[in-house]
Amino acid sequence: MIEKRGLASAVPHIILILGIAFMCFPIYLTLVASTVTQEEIVHPPLPLLPGPHLIENYKDALFSGVNVPVMRMLFNSLVMAMAIAVGKIAISLLSAYAIVYFRFRFRMLCFWTIFITLMLPVEVRIVPTYEVVAQLNMLNSYAGLTLPLIASATATFLFRQFFMTVPDELFEAARMDGAGPLRFFKDILLPLSTTNIAALFVILFIYGWNQFLWPLLVTTDPQMNTIVMGIKQMLPTADDWGNWPVTMATAVLAMLPPIAVVVFMQRLFVKGLIETEK
């Protein structure tokens, strides 16, 4: 650094600490609220230190919940996030492989068909997509929950970009040794792509876990609710006080898996984030 004089060097630290406080304080209070009783919450102010009711609140949330035990919603969220992440990666790997390593009729048509899906996020086509899923009898099913979110241009493009950088010599050497297309894919391309796959998996897992609008529409059966959308029904309404400690415990449970992924796989996460947006 260039300037490092007394007070001036403390300013960045102070601003950063204020920033971190702004980012973390809401989460901290959520955590506190999940360890106290309803009485302590409805008679503000909320204490600033955690209370002793952590275990009972979380037990209450996990095993009874409001409409459905949170355990069930966590399971649904996990299935959804995994299916979306694995599904997207699988179909994108295959189609990117075909587009890069093969010459076939309609190749460019396929490419452009994938490309335009970039322009159709689920939020802008909700009503017709809902109707299609309803006609296919996929409401309240894991297939209906995940399939419409699986097609993704970004993942296909990421793998396409990556495959383009794989040296042609590898391909030629593999051909020389008599490897067919499937062999080349399995033994050379896949092992080379592991870091990319892992980085993408982290991003897609968070994307799938955090879906809100789509599960809200297709899961009318509480047994199929995901945790991120299910929490909406726990919020107090005009004629109901709700149960804040249990709701906040659910909020913490809903945040925990994606936050754990970001914190523990930070390097992959940053790589995935920056590469998918290129």
Partner 1 sequence: MEKRVTFGGGVLPYLLVLPQMIITAVFFLWPASQAVYQSVQLPDPFGLSTTFVWLDNFKFLLSDRYYLESFQTTAVFSVAVTVLSMGLALLFAVMADGVIRGASTHKTLLIWPYAVAPAIAGVVWLFLFNPSIGVVAFYLKYAGYHWNHVLNANEAMLLVVVAAAWKQISYNFLFFLAGLQAIPRSLIEAAAIDGAGGWHRFRTITFPLLSPTTFFLLVVNIVYAFFDTFGIIHTVTAGGPERATMILVYKVYADGFVGQDLGSSAAQSVILMVIVAALTVVQFRFIERRVHY
Q: Which of positions 131-150 make contact with partner 1 (CB under 8 A)?
A: 131-133, 136, 147-148, 150
What Cα–Cα distance (Å) separates residue 228 from each residue in 73, 74, 102, 169? 8, 9, 41, 47
Among 168, 177, 239, 240, binds partner 1 (CB under 8 A): 168
Q: In this structure, are residues 154 and 276 in contact, taking their beta carbons and an 8 Å threshold?
A: yes
Could you give the CA distance from residue 155 to residue 208 in angstroms, rounded to a whole number? 14
Contacts with 150 (C-beta within 8 Å, 6 or more apart), sequence order = 83, 84, 87, 88, 91
What Cα–Cα distance (Å) separates residue 193 from each residue in 1, 97, 198, 199, 268? 37, 12, 9, 10, 13
Q: Return the half-sphere exposure (C-beta side, CA atoms, 13 A cut-off) of residue 18.
A: 6
If binding is defined by CB under 8 A, does position 91 make contact with partner 1?
yes
Count residues near partner 1 (CB under 8 A): 99
What Cα–Cα distance (Å) separates residue 70 from each residue in 192, 225, 270? 39, 9, 30
Q: What is the CB neighbour count within 10 angstroms for residue 49?
A: 7
Stretch that binds partner 1, among 58-66, 68-76, 100-108, 192-200 (CB under 8 A): 100-108
Read off the DSSP letter of residue 186: I
If binding is defined by CB under 8 A, does position 12 make contact with partner 1?
yes
Among 171, 192, 222, 276, binds partner 1 (CB under 8 A): 171
| Least distance between partner 1 and beta carbon 260 (Å) | 8
Among 7, 49, 108, 164, binds partner 1 (CB under 8 A): 164
Among 98, 139, 188, 192, binds partner 1 (CB under 8 A): 98
Residues from 49 through 78 that contact partner 1 (CB under 8 A): none
If binding is defined by CB under 8 A, does position 104 make contact with partner 1?
yes
If binding is defined by CB under 8 A, does position 7 make contact with partner 1?
no
**DSSP state string for 246-266:** HHHHHHHHHHHHHHHHHHHTH
Among 64, 94, 183, 190, binds partner 1 (CB under 8 A): 94
| Joined tokens for residue 184 | 């080349």
Residues from 187 through 216 that contact partner 1 (CB under 8 A): 206, 209-210, 212-213, 216
Cis peptide before 45 (omega within 30 of 0): yes
If binding is defined by CB under 8 A, does position 172 make contact with partner 1?
yes
Among 200, 246, 251, 268, binds partner 1 (CB under 8 A): 251
| Least distance between partner 1 and beta carbon 113 (Å) | 6
Among 83, 145, 229, 268, binds partner 1 (CB under 8 A): 229
| Least distance between partner 1 and beta carbon 83 (Å) | 12
Query: Cβ closer to partner 1: 19 or 64?
Result: 19
Instruction: Determine the longest span between alpha carbons in the chain, in angstroms.
Output: 77
